């Protein structure tokens, strides 16, 4: 099969994009096996090299090794998240421990680590460039943190833990997807549609058609459907049914239940940290981030938690007062919050989502994100037709700089489907680097917006539009990367720094120069009225107590899971409830991500002990946008040039704090975040 396997061939395709139409599920196992064998041979050659270690024959050689494996993995894991099927899921379960074992073999290769350690000890005597020095530091840290200094049975145990955690993370993600994909609330009658605006009725009809319920309406667990349903449905019984299904993902018993997976994951993470000399997993994980310690994270979160909880209490009182005035004979519950919050917003700001949404078209918001990048960084975007992509809904754009030079290929995959996991994310089919020549990236943004019926405009909520800008900020971080080494390319930065480019980019969506031009009515083409923009601005911190409590509680639960002894967690639901009770979680609000579907934390190590990072980065993004505001021009060319050089293009080539100080002159205080969320003076 090898000669016919497109994953193992050179690609004579436009932009060297993967030949998706030729790739079949059966190609992956052979491709992975061949690529693993090649990678192992390349690593063995480096480790056994009899020449004295040098940066070129050790670090650069490792950067060049495993190219085939990176290529196959990028395609497979992008598709396993965005367009999976049972065959791919079976391969994913098969490959998770194998790839983890391969990584462990590299990180625990004594000869290889000796070469890296020798170079690290030589330090400044090597006369490395700042980027090379950073790459060497990152390699050394990766080896040490993977157990390279362990001996005997401890090394073996570390490898076993790594493999098992990879299997557990894969199972967690697949279980969550199964629960999301299988649930549907079928709205059978006109009464079931009471209160739903036209845009939601149309989206629910489209979802019903996709799921074989032609002529009916379906609410799925995609945020773009369930959140507006909870916001508008007059049927409290249906709101409760949908909400309970939403928060019960991964907690329904049977094969897709994630509770035992979480318990085993916590135990193994703690054991891994202990083997490396750390008291708990959070201390291990944060030692390599900007925050450094669990205490620093807790300090940040609690400084936000207290005013957020107070603000949420004020908001809850208003909701209850309104419900009582309408004759409700119940206390506000989590499935009531969005519904009554929408009514209060209408009362206080004469603003409701149904009034805004006709002006927020997906295609126009994509254009708005592109123009913002053009005005800040000189980028141009040209849609490319005729490419064979992995799904008919995916769109492709060639990205060029101000001198018409090719920068990247950008893919946009915007619509929800049952083969896609929930959420929104940025990824890449190829990363930027210069070690093998001027390799330009192929970057993808994946969303889960509810697709409008054919021939109609897809309308977004303002939060949806903000999500698109957020993920496009990540995409720019990947596309504008300008480094030599793959190890520090694009978003390969500290977890609590990676959200800075994305969250900062959100600010431009609300700027009048962008909003007034691209927020146009999908029927009339008229620009959003100034009065409506003013209302949006006045209401931008509406419900902020709720939003902050929802997020911060999740971050605190993540932190506590990984600081408390794993033996104390014997029942996931009880542990979660205990942590929330300790911080005084309001009964009317649930975590943004309950434990059993907290994919950031349990579908891999990515955000484990790191969900706080959105808020850590928000301290910086609030301060960074002030740099533009202080000039009186949110597109100031001088500030934009510094932003590009030190944030969007620098990748992980230097310490993140050093890069931020180069951009702004100093590290920020929390005040900018509290002020931005309207929480600064809340008692």
Q: What is the pLDDT of residues 358-411, one digit of tens each?
A: 999 999 999 999 999 999 999 999 999 999 999 999 999 999 999 999 999 999
Decide if 503 contacts 473 (C-beta within 8 A): yes
CA-to-CA dists, residue 218 to 12, 185, 390, 641, angstroms: 43, 5, 26, 47
Task: List b or e across 603-638, with b for residues whose CB sees 16 or more CB atoms inside 10 angstroms.
Answer: bbbebbbbbbbbbbbbbbbbbbbbbbeeeeebbbee
Task: List b or e across 549-580, with b for residues whose CB sees 16 or more CB atoms inside 10 angstroms.
Answer: bbbbbbbbbbbbbbbbebeebeebeebbeebb
Q: How far apart are CA 659 and CA 503, in angstroms?
A: 17
579 vs 675, higher pLDDT: 579
Report, in this order, helix, strand and coil percent for the chain, each rounded to 5.
60, 5, 30
Q: Is 264 an active-site residue?
A: no
Per-residue pLDDT reduced to its tens digit, 466-511:
999 999 999 999 999 999 999 999 999 999 999 999 999 999 999 9
Per-residue pLDDT reduced to its tens digit, 135-145:
999 999 999 99
Report the percent of the chain where pLDDT is more than 70. Answer: 99
Q: Which tokens in the block code for residue 59? A: 């670090």
Q: Using only the alpha carbons of the chain, give its radius of gyration.
A: 25
Which distant-in-sequence residues (6+ apart) come within 8 Å of 453 by Cβ? 202, 205, 206, 209
Q: How far apart are CA 321 and CA 333, in angstroms?
A: 14
| Rounded mean pLDDT, 58-73 | 97
Q: How far apart are CA 330 and CA 119, in angstroms?
A: 68
CA-to-CA dists, residue 186 to 177, 190, 227, 673, angstroms: 19, 12, 16, 41
Q: With residue 408 as reference, give the H or E element that holds it.
A: strand 406-415
Helices (H), 183-213: 198-210
Per-residue pLDDT reduced to its tens digit, 555-565:
999 999 999 99
pLDDT for residue 560 = 98
Does 352 have pLDDT greater than 90? no
* Phi, psi of 386, deg, nearest 5: 85, 0
| Rounded mean pLDDT, 596-610 | 95
Report the percent of the chain where pLDDT is more than 90. Answer: 95
| Rounded mean pLDDT, 260-289 | 98
| Rounded mean pLDDT, 321-330 | 96
Strand pairing report for 380-384 and 425-430: unpaired
Structural domains of the chain in order of their starting residue, each with its CATH number:
2-107+109-145 (1.20.1050.40), 183-248 (no CATH), 294-350+543-633+649-676 (1.10.1370.10)
Give, in degrees to the nearest 5, the angle at Cα 421 between 432 and 608: 70
Which distant-in-sequence residues (6+ apart) come within 8 Å of 355 by Cβ? 532
Decide if 81 contacts 418 (C-beta within 8 A): no
pLDDT for residue 598 = 97
pLDDT for residue 651 = 97
Q: With residue 219 as reference, give the H or E element that holds it.
A: strand 217-219
Q: Which position among 63, 184, 251, 471 bears the catalytic label?
A: 471
pLDDT for residue 1 = 44
Does 683 have pLDDT greater than 70? no
**Tokens 């206390």 sit on residue:** 331
pLDDT for residue 4 = 86
Per-residue pLDDT reduced to its tens digit, 177-201:
999 999 999 999 999 999 999 989 9
pLDDT for residue 606 = 87
Q: How far apart are CA 131 and CA 125, in angstroms?
A: 15
pLDDT for residue 3 = 61
Q: Which residues pair with 396 in a beta bridge?
A: 384, 411
Decide if 488 contacts 652 (C-beta within 8 A): yes
Does 2 have pLDDT greater than 60? no
């Amino acid at each position: 099969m090898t000669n016919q396997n497109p994953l193992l061939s050179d690609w004579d395709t436009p932009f060297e994009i993967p030949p998706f139409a030729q790739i079949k599920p059966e190609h992956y196992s052979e491709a992975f096996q061949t690529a693993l064998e090649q990678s192992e041979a390349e690593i063995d050659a480096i480790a056994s090299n009899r020449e004295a270690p040098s940066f070129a024959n050790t670090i650069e050689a490792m950067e060049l090794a495993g190219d085939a494996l990176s290529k196959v993995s990028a395609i497979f894991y992008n598709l396993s998240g965005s367009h999976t099927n049972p065959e791919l899921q079976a391969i994913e379960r098969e490959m998770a421990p194998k790839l983890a074992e391969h990584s462990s073999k590299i990180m625990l290769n004594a000869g290889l680590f000796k070469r890296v350690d020798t170079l690290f000890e030589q330090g400044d005597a090597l006369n490395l460039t700042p980027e090379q020095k950073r790459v060497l530091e990152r390699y050394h840290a990766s080896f040490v943190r993977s157990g390279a200094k362990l001996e005997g049975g401890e090394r073996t145990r570390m490898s076993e833990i790594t493999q098992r955690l990879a299997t557990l993370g894969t199972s967690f993600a697949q279980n969550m997807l199964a629960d999301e994909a299988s649930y549907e609330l079928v709205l059978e009658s006109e009464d079931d549609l009471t209160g739903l605006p036209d845009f939601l009725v149309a989206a629910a009809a489209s979802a019903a058609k996709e799921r074989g319920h032609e002529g009916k309406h379906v609410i799925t667990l995609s945020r773009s459907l369930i959140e507006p349903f909870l916001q508008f449905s007059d049927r409290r019984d249906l709101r409760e049914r949908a909400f309970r299904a939403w928060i019960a993902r991964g907690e329904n018993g049977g094969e897709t239940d994630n509770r035992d997976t979480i318990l085993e994951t916590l135990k193994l993470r703690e054991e891994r940290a202990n083997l490396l000399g750390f008291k708990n997993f959070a201390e291990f994980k944060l030692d390599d981030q900007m925050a450094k310690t669990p205490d620093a994270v807790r300090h940040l979160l609690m400084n936000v938690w207290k005013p957020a909880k107070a603000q949420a209490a004020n908001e809850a009182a208003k909701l209850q007062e309104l419900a009582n005035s309408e004759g409700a004979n119940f206390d506000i519950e989590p499935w009531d919050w969005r519904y009554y919050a929408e009514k209060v917003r209408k009362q206080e700001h004469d603003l409701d989502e149904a009034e805004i949404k006709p002006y927020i078209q997906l295609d126009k918001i994509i254009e708005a994100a592109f123009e913002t990048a053009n005005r800040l960084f000189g980028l141009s975007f040209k849609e490319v037709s005729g490419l064979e992509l992995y799904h008919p809904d995916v769109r492709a754009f060639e990205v060029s700089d101000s001198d018409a030079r090719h920068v990247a290929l950008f893919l946009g995959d915007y619509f929800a489907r049952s083969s896609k996991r929930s959420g929104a994310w940025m990824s890449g089919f190829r990363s930027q680097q210069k070690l093998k020549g001027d390799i330009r990236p192929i970057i993808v943004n994946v969303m889960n917006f509810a697709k409008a019926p054919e021939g109609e405009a897809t309308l977004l909520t303002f939060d949806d539009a903000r999500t698109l800008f957020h993920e496009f900020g990540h995409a720019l971080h990947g596309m504008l990367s300008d480094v030599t080494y793959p190890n520090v390319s694009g978003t390969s930065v500290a977890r609590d720094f990676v959200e800075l480019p994305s969250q900062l980019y959100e600010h431009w969506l609300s700027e009048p120069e962008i909003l007034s031009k691209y927020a146009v009515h999908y029927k009339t083409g008229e620009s959003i009225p100034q009065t409506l923009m003013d209302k949006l601005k006045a209401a931008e911190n509406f419900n902020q107590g709720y939003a902050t409590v929802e997020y911060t509680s999740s971050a605190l639960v993540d932190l506590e899971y990984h600081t408390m002894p794993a033996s104390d967690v014997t029942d996931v639901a009880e542990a979660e409830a205990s942590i929330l009770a300790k911080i005084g979680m309001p009964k009317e609000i649930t975590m943004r991500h309950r434990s059993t579907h907290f994919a950031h934390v349990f579908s891999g190590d990515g955000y484990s002990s790191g969900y706080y990072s959105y808020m850590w980065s928000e301290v910086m993004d609030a301060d960074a946008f002030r740099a533009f505001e202080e000039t009186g021009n949110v597109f100031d060319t001088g500030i934009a040039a510094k932003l590009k050089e030190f944030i969007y293009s620098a990748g992980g080539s230097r310490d993140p704090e050093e890069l931020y100080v180069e951009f702004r002159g100093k590290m920020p205080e929390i005040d900018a975040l509290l002020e931005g969320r309207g929480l600064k003076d809340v008692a």
